[in-house]
Structure 1
Amino acid sequence: MTKRGVGTLAGGLLVSWLMSGCGADPAQQPVESQARALTEEPAPQRLPVLESLEFVPSDKTSSATPGLLRAKLAEGERAELLQLTGDDGKELTLRDDGLNGDEKAGDGLFSGFGVVNLDEHLKTQERIASFQMQSADPLTFATIDDRVLVKETPLVPLSPDIFVPGQTIPLTPVGISQAVAPNKSLIITDPSVVGDPTRTWNPCTGTGNPNGVWTFKHLMTEMANTAATPPAFTDRWLKQWLTTQTVNGRSVPARTNMATQILNAWPRLSTGELDLDRSPFKLVAIINRLDLGRGKGGPYGTSGAGELRFVFTVMNSTTCVRPYNSFEVIFEFGVPRTDCFQVKAWAQSWLGLSNSSLILGSAAYNSQLESLTEPVVLRNAAPSKPNGSAINQVRTNEVLLASPWEMREFRIFSTAANPREFTTTSVPGYLSEHVTVRTPFDMFNNTPTLTSFLANPANNAAILAGTHDVPLDYGVTTNFLGAWPQMPTTGFFWNAPNLSTVPNGINVRHKFSLNTCNGCHARETNTGFTHVGPTGALSPFLATGMSNPLTPYNVTDPVSGTVRSFYEIRDRAQTLDSTANQSCLIRRLDRPLLSSH
């Protein structure tokens, strides 16, 4: 962006604004307290992506410096007005019509008045300089789209000399992935954590705490709330594999080995109910998916807090030789924090786990981690969601019950939901089989129907932008969105005939396939069905960046032969550091991540 000083028009408007206390700006809204009770995260919004943001202060540097803001939209983005939230928590509007603070109509720069925490921005520059001194390589900020590096921008600290009234100050995004220890703040699989005897239960050895805060029993009990007894809630969920289910008008075949492999082997109480104290599910990972909240959330561009995930595997409680390699359950909770200030505090707590003085698996570390997980999983954490639970969905990935590998998704059914998205046997308050997000029924792979879907102008553009959805029906094709994606081999991917007729066909095919459940867990990421294995081992897609987030994971496109360099962990680490340390206004530069995986 071209740097400009404050001209006559802008200078006059600044004086007027300062004297009138915002004049014609929209009514200001108070900052919501960080101690506010947690509520359900609002539905995601697709906000215009910004290319750049800059600020011309009208006063000396402080935690609440007033001045003129300018923003430029990213290429291809359109907007009449830009709604942002200043660092004082108040709504502000940037315009490009020459009114109410805008410098010049139609110049492509949206401008208006707001408040910026320049103290924080200045400290960020000091932090960049400090990390640069410790790093052997130059610091950069990565722009990543669908896990692929688009560009790198050098992170060079701004001179303190420009932090003066009337000088243009770039407000640039900063995220230092080197500040994050991925095994402590992103994907936690260390046995001293997931095997903590005060918080977890080991069904093989019969040791631990069956009522621990990270046990399968605790999560299911809190999720059931008062809708059902926890054993009944669990039993009904698992029995859905015993009979054919109908989801979105198509049959999902039964996998009756659920009875012999899990239900019949599960110890029961004298009442005949499942004994949740002796659940066969063992915790293998706790995962912070803050990145899934990027670019989502409140009405003025604040970001959501993403998801908190727990991965469990079924253990053979009889032989206890090893975990079954083939039945995993992933609890995916939507973190019920809404405004940017809440999300920032959430990120700071997760980043705090990376502190070198906090030993992974120590009593202090595990206690601090519990203080983050427990408020999310407790009953009534999200009062407006079914059962008051913050759970978004429960997913399974297994080959224990039959071949091939199969994934399913379950949500708590509510009468307010679209019944076509759930199995026809759904009962309110219970986990019920649900359609799988962004994944059609497998029968549509390599069909003209999929070619048509990818070529449709609206779908084509949305897939490239990462904002697409897969509808229940597509055109004259009914029952399009699927419910039980399978992976016959690790070479599985989604493809379409006559791909050359699809605009940007190679990239559109890849992005579509990558965002399906079975494409993501197979050939698109060169993954052997699980990203977190039954012993906590990570797929190369994840493991490559755990020791060094700057290391790319290269995958050759199965159709074009193009080599793509994925930076999954770098993206997650950079997002965590940026969220924890950037002001809420600067975080409006976040590029939305609308992945479901």
Structure 2
Amino acid sequence: MRNLSFGFAHPLATKTSAAAVLALIALGAAACGSHDVGEGSSGDAALALDPADEPIGSAIAPLSAPRSAVGFWRFDDCDSSTTELSDASGNGSTATRSAGAACAQAKSGLGISFDDSNDTVTIADDPRFTFGQNLAVAAWVNPTSVSGSTVRTIAQERNNSGSSFSLVVQSNEARFAVTLANGRTVTARAPIQANVWTHVAGIYDGSLVRLFLDGAQAGQASATGAIRDINAPIQIGNNPQRQRFAGLIDEVWVSANPLTGDEIAQLTCIRHPGTVVATPESSGPPGTPVTYQIAVTNNDEAECSPRKYGLNLFGRPGILSTVSPGSIPDVGPGSTATFSVTVTGTEAVDPGVYQLTYDVINPDSPDSFFVASGNLTYEMIAPAGCFVRTNREIFVKHLSVVEDPIRTTFNGPAGDPRTGAWTFARLMEDMAPTPADAPAMVEQMFDTWLSDQAVNGFTVPARPAIQQVVFDEWPRSPDGSLDLRQAPLMLLGIVNRIDVRNLAEGHAGEGRFVFGVFSQGFAQQFTLILEYKLPASTEADVLAWANDWHALGNLPFPSEEYNAALQAITTRFAGRNAAPGRPNGSALGQLRTNEIALSDPWELREFVLSPQTGFLRPATVKLTPDIGFDGSATLAAYVNQNEAAILLEQHTVPDTFQGSPFLAGSSLNNLTAWMAPGILNNEARHKFSLNTCNGCHGAAETGTPFLHVNVRAPGNEGTLSGFMTGIEVPDPVTGAPRMLNDLARRNQDLR
């Protein structure tokens, strides 16, 4: 929302290019020089950022096998601690290795070495091992001996009465045989060499028995009929007659589907992880692009088809990155593809060293999609002159602040002004008519969820789950009042909103505390934002606030010195009697809540201090009509009549419009975006929607699931929405992309 922004998000939607943003970043202003202290209008800076993400990790590409297998034993999981070998086909036909059949380096990773008469790998019989007139079996073999009449078993389905198929080496030949239901055995054969790796495959399709060596047909024989069904296990490297293979076997594949010659050739392909080299480590100041080269070498065997490579770069909020080209096709085995990555830091992040994770992918191969992962090391150097550190001067959520062991607890020395300074309890005590009134004021505010509320002629329905989510989790003092020091609330951040300043209303913007409800053992989807005015009456007052916030960026961080300086600022706007002319002398502008923990849909409520009682009371949610006006002629009339002010983001939404209540008593977020037939200017529609609570916090207008700062568990920082850190969102009416980055805009404004 604009000026009275709920959830510390500021509306901003432009079509500004990344280049324009970098040009804006080069400008100076505010705390580093002169400062425009007019109406508090927002600039149009926007910055598109890659989403932050976790590294996925590297992966070795498996063999890409045609059609479905009934069993595929790669042996890469061979381990001396177990005799089980998994079935890579997904059918669960686990193989069992005899103790003497050793794991060994083979054609693709690990294989099995057979050198003893008892060595064998056995797969128990399975109904899938009924082949009818369709069978394909293949393996990589490296025999130490091929001569002589001794049968050396590669793979065979056999029991003591006979076999259904066999793939063997005998008399300097590789042989593939099938035994038909009529008892006839048909064999295809071809010469094979010892001590070299050969891919051996056999196919039966109901008419031909064919043998392939290294993907090419080498022998065939005619046969007709179904294969004998013998209900026997498949054995690899041996059989019940001790006809043991001598040498190494790898990548055994069995299918009950007929295969073409091309599909057999695919089985000869052994994929290997690509080699990825990224150069160089680079550095530069904000706004200065640096370039990396990421070279990917295809290490697949020569039999493999070319790969297509793509590069996914997982950036960080505040760091721009581009990849060129997006993908590189037809990279053959032994060839190298090179991607160019351009990285540009912005002033939304602090100077320092950052790791940007990337994944090299093979997008056309679902079974070997991820090729490798790595990190680019980027150092952003602080520029000369003005530099605003967003994380220290604008949105502070570092654990050293939000979990300050003294200021966010009452564990410090009694009488120490630091003790509890940033707790919900202390802020309420300083806000209430008297500190003793604070528990009753807080309970009265939360009580409003227990019954329907009438606000501006609208009924705000009760959400009685407040009892279980909040009250039942909140300890009470001996006198029965809420013990504010044990409030189920956790500090999420301290926020500088000098960008919403308005001297005509007597303030230099806002300072905010953001809390999340932590109850029932976890972080609830429920936040409270305390939004205080920064008292100011002159341009010099505004500049003083700007300089004080900016000075935080030059202090050691994290440090007690920094926290002490931040506390000095927060005390000026949140301390008792910070604004003597306002209710209770408090500078509070409004307290807003944002939750779905109590009921569906998401709801935003607003509270202000009553001049009569000094307690918090429900109020309208500013700049947001009741949701019933979405899509209406009334909404179109309001937007059209106020188009000029809306485009300048200087409009107000009145309590009533066209003689009826208009401004909402609460904001429900169950709309796609504010729109209505008859709105003449879509840019005005967009800025109006973006300034509403539910538009700013909505997926359609800002790409936001709802919270702009996410709740957190102890020991974790809350993450920010894409609207805050940078996101591209299509306009819900035109579909045109809009680049949104509110922290970049606020950074510009502070300067």
Q: Same fold (TM over 0.5)?
A: yes
Alignment of 1:309 with 2:309, yes or no, is: no
Alignment of 1:340 with 2:539, yes or no, is: yes
Counterpart for residue 688 of structure 2? 512
Q: Cα–Cα, structure 1 residues 341 and 268, in superposed 2: closer, same or farther, change >3 Å? A: same
Alignment of 1:487 with 2:664, yes or no, is: no
Tell me if the contact between 1:530 and 1:539 (Cα under 8 Å) persists in the aligned partners.
yes
**CA distance, structure 2, for counterparts of residue 298 and residue 210 of structure 1:** 34
Alignment of 1:409 with 2:606, yes or no, is: yes
Q: Cα–Cα, structure 1 residues 351 and 439, in superposed 2: closer, same or farther, change >3 Å? A: same
Alignment of 1:460 with 2:643, yes or no, is: yes
Counterpart for residue 432 of structure 1? 617
Q: Which runs of 5+ in 2 are unaligned?
A: 1-283, 290-382, 713-717
Q: Give 1:436's aligned amino acid.
A: V
Give the RMSD, CA atoms, in angstroms. Answer: 2.5
**CA shift for structure 1 position 350:** 1.1
Q: Give 1:485's aligned amino acid.
A: S
Tell me if the contact between 1:407 and 1:486 (Cα under 8 Å) persists in the aligned partners.
yes
**CA shift for structure 1 position 498:** 3.3
Q: Cα–Cα, structure 1 residues 210 and 256, in superposed 2: closer, same or farther, change >3 Å? A: farther
**CA distance, structure 2, for counterparts of residue 214 and residue 525 of structure 1:** 30
**CA distance, structure 2, for counterparts of residue 180 and residue 485 of structure 1:** 34
Alignment of 1:288 with 2:288, yes or no, is: no
Q: Cα–Cα, structure 1 residues 498 and 392, in superposed 2: closer, same or farther, change >3 Å? A: same
Q: Cα–Cα, structure 1 residues 268 and 209, in superposed 2: closer, same or farther, change >3 Å? A: farther
**CA distance, structure 1, for counterparts of residue 738 and residue 637 of structure 2:** 25
Tell me if the contact between 2:392 and 2:553 (Cα under 8 Å) persists in the aligned partners.
yes
Alignment of 1:563 with 2:737, yes or no, is: yes
**CA distance, structure 2, for counterparts of residue 243 and residue 315 of structure 1:** 23
Counterpart for residue 50 of structure 2? none
- Map 1:99-110 to 2 at 5 A: none
Q: Cα–Cα, structure 1 residues 392 and 177, in superposed 2: closer, same or farther, change >3 Å? A: farther
The percentage of counterpart residues that share the same residue type is 40
The Cα offsets for residues 192-251 of structure 1, whole Å up to 9 and x where unpaired, read as 110001100399xxxx99951100001111000329611111111110111100000111
Alignment of 1:451 with 2:636, yes or no, is: yes
**CA distance, structure 2, for counterparts of residue 233 and residue 464 of structure 1:** 39
SS at match of 1:312: strand
**CA shift for structure 1 position 453:** 1.6
Report how many residues are paired.
365
SS at match of 1:449: helix
Q: Cα–Cα, structure 1 residues 227 and 444, in superposed 2: closer, same or farther, change >3 Å? A: farther
**CA distance, structure 1, for counterparts of residue 576 and residue 692 of structure 2:** 30
**CA distance, structure 1, for counterparts of residue 405 and residue 418 of structure 2:** 9
SS at match of 2:470: helix
Which residue, out of 577, 586, 589, partners 1:389? Answer: 586
Tell me if the contact between 1:177 and 1:573 (Cα under 8 Å) persists in the aligned partners.
no
Q: Give 1:528's aligned amino acid.
A: P
**CA shift for structure 1 position 455:** 2.2
Tell me if the contact between 2:725 and 2:742 (Cα under 8 Å) persists in the aligned partners.
no
Q: Which runs of 5+ in 1 are unaligned?
A: 1-132, 139-174, 416-427, 545-552, 578-597
Q: Give 1:440's aligned amino acid.
A: P
Larger CA Rg, structure 1 vs 2 = 2
Q: Cα–Cα, structure 1 residues 446 and 367, in superposed 2: closer, same or farther, change >3 Å? A: same
**CA shift for structure 1 position 364:** 0.9
Farther-moved stretch of structure 1 (564-573 vs 386-395): 564-573
**CA distance, structure 2, for counterparts of residue 520 and residue 474 of structure 1:** 22
Tell me if the contact between 2:429 and 2:436 (Cα under 8 Å) persists in the aligned partners.
no
Q: Cα–Cα, structure 1 residues 399 and 567, in superposed 2: closer, same or farther, change >3 Å? A: closer
Tell me if the contact between 1:237 and 1:431 (Cα under 8 Å) persists in the aligned partners.
yes
Q: Give 1:194's aligned amino acid.
A: V
Counterpart for residue 538 of structure 1? 720
**CA distance, structure 1, for counterparts of residue 386 and residue 738 of structure 2:** 23
**CA shift for structure 1 position 452:** 1.8
Q: Give 2:701's aligned amino acid.
A: E
Q: Give 1:387's aligned amino acid.
A: N
**CA distance, structure 1, for counterparts of residue 705 and residue 386 of structure 2:** 28
The Cα offsets for residues 177-200 of structure 1, whole Å up to 9 and x where unpaired, read as 970110010101111110001100
Q: Cα–Cα, structure 1 residues 304 and 277, in superposed 2: closer, same or farther, change >3 Å? A: closer
Q: Cα–Cα, structure 1 residues 354 and 179, in superposed 2: closer, same or farther, change >3 Å? A: same
**CA shift for structure 1 position 137:** 3.9
Counterpart for residue 15 of structure 1? none
1 or 2, which has the higher strand percentage? 2
**CA shift for structure 1 position 252:** 0.7
- Map 1:90-169 to 2 at 5 A: 137=288
The Cα offsets for residues 269-300 of structure 1, whole Å up to 9 and x where unpaired, read as 1111001111111101000001111xx2169x
Alignment of 1:243 with 2:243, yes or no, is: no
Q: Cα–Cα, structure 1 residues 570 and 136, in superposed 2: closer, same or farther, change >3 Å? A: closer
The Cα offsets for residues 157-190 of structure 1, whole Å up to 9 and x where unpaired, read as xxxxxxxxxxxxxxxxxx9997011001010111
Tell me if the contact between 1:408 and 1:433 (Cα under 8 Å) persists in the aligned partners.
yes
- Map 1:248-259 to 2 at 5 A: 248-259=456-467
SS at match of 2:706: coil
Tell me if the contact between 1:298 and 1:339 (Cα under 8 Å) persists in the aligned partners.
no
Q: Cα–Cα, structure 1 residues 202 and 443, in superposed 2: closer, same or farther, change >3 Å? A: farther
Which residue, out of 373, 389, 392, partners 2:570? Answer: 373
Alignment of 1:496 with 2:676, yes or no, is: yes
1 or 2, which has the higher helix percentage? 1
Farther-moved stretch of structure 1 (461-470 vs 243-252): 461-470
Counterpart for residue 473 of structure 1? 656
Which residue, out of 265, 277, 297, partners 2:503? Answer: 297
TM-score by length of 1: 0.58
**CA distance, structure 2, for counterparts of residue 361 and residue 210 of structure 1:** 16
**CA distance, structure 2, for counterparts of residue 176 and residue 212 of structure 1:** 38
Counterpart for residue 530 of structure 2? 331
Q: Give 2:427's aligned amino acid.
A: L
Tell me if the contact between 1:438 and 1:516 (Cα under 8 Å) persists in the aligned partners.
yes
**CA distance, structure 2, for counterparts of residue 539 and residue 196 of structure 1:** 24
Q: Cα–Cα, structure 1 residues 255 and 211, in superposed 2: closer, same or farther, change >3 Å? A: farther
Alignment of 1:351 with 2:550, yes or no, is: yes
**CA distance, structure 2, for counterparts of residue 429 and residue 219 of structure 1:** 15
**CA distance, structure 1, for counterparts of residue 558 and residue 531 of structure 2:** 22
SS at match of 1:541: helix
**CA distance, structure 1, for counterparts of residue 474 and residue 504 of structure 2:** 44
Which residue, out of 378, 392, 411, partners 1:184? Answer: 392
Counterpart for residue 403 of structure 2? 195
Tell me if the contact between 1:526 and 1:541 (Cα under 8 Å) persists in the aligned partners.
yes
